[in-house]
A and B are shown apart, each in its own frame.
Chain A
């Protein structure tokens, strides 16, 4: 597979050198007294492949929504390459190079693949407000859309309405839309959700093929998907960070195994997904 986003933007102007790509400081979010995310401080180095795991309900998506700006934190701050973005709306964060995908696939389902990609490619340009020129007339954008689609094996599907794509193709289009903006940091919310094992392999290969300077932050509750893609992992449980470290260490971390397997009790069934049981 070629690397469709081999043109990830180089460091933007005004970045302080040595700053983490993404950093949160004591991030909290409460919903009516329920604390969904509590005091999460993370540092993601530029070019890192950063995984966030945790069982369902751990607050992963809430954390993500605060990173991408869909949700305002109750307290705490988020910064991107050293710049405080806590108060910025999503579209401003996108302009600064923060892209995201959604767990529940959110493409423009009544538009064609080409129209989906065209929207994404105009996203950061002033041409998105252009009224007089037909969108099909932007040759460079059309060529870029075709190139992106070809890199992901969607070349023959450009004129297909997104609602008619297979589930795997939809997940790819989802990632493709985010990549079209050439983000410097890409937030992936369970990119493999609902995929068959074969399709999961495709997504993993796709993620591994991304340019090394692109910083990836990926939510997953399935450690198998993270393995081989991610090098550093944070573990979220009940809204709080319980562990973080290199993937190899996290896999063998006592607390994490406990979290995923449940405490072994005499006669008790292990709680949580048993997938991690066979971790070598």
Chain B
């Protein structure tokens, strides 16, 4: 998204050329930097929303592409809720997407009313999440990955072979969509706006969840589950709740999928489809909610656009993934976070220099402490890429330097390996 390169572009030139001049201009620059830092997120979000609305009201191929992105973004964000925060990465989420999609399609074919079919699909997904969670949450690490994959394979197998129910290879076409009064999802514009609205609601819900005490507890599960249990947490329950939320939201994505495509067939939920959603999350950045949404955008572009020009687009995708894992394991969102941290470091350095300039007249000594004394960053944004070298130039203004308290035992010297 444009905001990524925009941010990096703003900070790099100043970050490279050492000092910003203290003085009235310095103060002005500092204020501008602080304001833009605070506003960057909301502005980028609003801009993205405006772009989405514009494309979706425009219709045409671009809007179909965006619909696909939004549906997969929901699935990817849901996967990230459990995978990025609790550290349990599922490899079977296309299966749950299929449960939502097939749930609606089968109920609709069996002459349920459209809304009742939505209810059936949601109910089946929720029930499946609650039931399978009892098993899935008992295991961790690679066993969890394999179990989720196995679940997805079972779902795929049923879709493929239970022809009486799923119409096998042909899939189920869906023609009747829900409607309220004059608004029918069969209308293209209404459908597109509904998908966007559901995406926004689920994204905001997930962001709220990860910032709550529950979200913090999931990070605790990933970091040190035994310790969390010793703090009074029933950690299995926390993993279970996160699992059910993940499965449910993925099912919602499945219902939207069948609305958008008006067809659900086994190829949508086969092995490579499972892999694709997981790849979206890793490509976008584990543990960030917005990152996987960007990952979904990138993957859909790869799949739909690149395949037009390049028949071996999957080879290119493979190399890109290798590059991501090697050079930017935090994915797209890692770049955004790094830019934010540079920004913070720049603000911190400027604050330090301004305080230094105010404190003493001599510019020679003024620049010294501002450059070297701070041994940590002002604000921590997420856990990734912390302690990036070269960001040490931060000094708290009228500081409460860590060493100033009761003499700590060599604070900051002995770091745990």
Chain A residues in the interface with B (C-beta under 8 A)? 1, 68, 70, 89-91, 94-95, 99-100, 102, 106-112, 115, 118-120, 122-124, 127-136, 138, 153, 155-157, 159-161, 163-170, 177-178, 180-181, 196, 198-199, 202
Please name all residues of chain B whose beta carbon is closer than 8 Å to the beta carbon of A136 when the two chains form the complex: 211
Question: Within the assembled complex, what's the spacing in Å between the Cα atoms of A3 and B270?
Answer: 60
Residue of B nearest to A105 (CB): B416
Question: Within the assembled complex, what's the spacing in Å between the Cα atoms of A149 and B414?
Answer: 20
| B405 with A118: CB separation less than 8 A | no
| A198 with B233: CB separation less than 8 A | no
A191 to chain B, nearest CB (A): 14
Question: Within the assembled complex, what's the spacing in Å between the Cα atoms of A106 and B408?
Answer: 21
B375 to chain A, nearest CB (A): 9
Please name all residues of chain A whose beta carbon is closer than 8 Å to the beta carbon of B228 when the two chains form the complex: 108, 119
List B residues 188-245 near A (Cβ within 8 Å): 208-209, 211-217, 219-220, 223-224, 226-235, 237-238, 241
Please name all residues of chain B whose beta carbon is closer than 8 Å to the beta carbon of A128 when the two chains form the complex: 213-214, 217, 232-233, 238
Q: Does B310 reach chain A (CB closer than 8 Å)?
A: no
| B409 with A199: CB separation less than 8 A | yes
Question: Within the assembled complex, what's the spacing in Å between the Cα atoms of A109 and B220?
Answer: 9
Please name all residues of chain B whose beta carbon is closer than 8 Å to the beta carbon of A180 when the two chains form the complex: 231
Question: Within the assembled complex, what's the spacing in Å between the Cα atoms of A181 and B232?
Answer: 8
Interface size on B, residues (CB 8 A): 47
Q: Does B17 reach chain A (CB closer than 8 Å)?
A: no
Q: Does B386 reach chain A (CB closer than 8 Å)?
A: yes
| B227 with A157: CB separation less than 8 A | no
- Which of B88-96, B178-186, B360-368, B376-384 lies on the face that meets chain A? B376-384
| A156 with B402: CB separation less than 8 A | yes
Question: Within the assembled complex, what's the spacing in Å between the Cα atoms of A160 and B208?
Answer: 23
| B211 with A135: CB separation less than 8 A | yes
Please name all residues of chain A whose beta carbon is closer than 8 Å to the beta carbon of B412 when the two chains form the complex: 164, 166
Please name all residues of chain B whose beta carbon is closer than 8 Å to the beta carbon of A202 when the two chains form the complex: 409
| A110 with B217: CB separation less than 8 A | no
| B226 with A119: CB separation less than 8 A | no
Please name all residues of chain A whose beta carbon is closer than 8 Å to the beta carbon of B157 when the two chains form the complex: none
B249 to chain A, nearest CB (A): 13
Please name all residues of chain A whose beta carbon is closer than 8 Å to the beta carbon of B131 when the two chains form the complex: none
| A153 with B383: CB separation less than 8 A | no
Neighbour of B214 across the interface among A130, A166, A170, CB < 8 A: A130
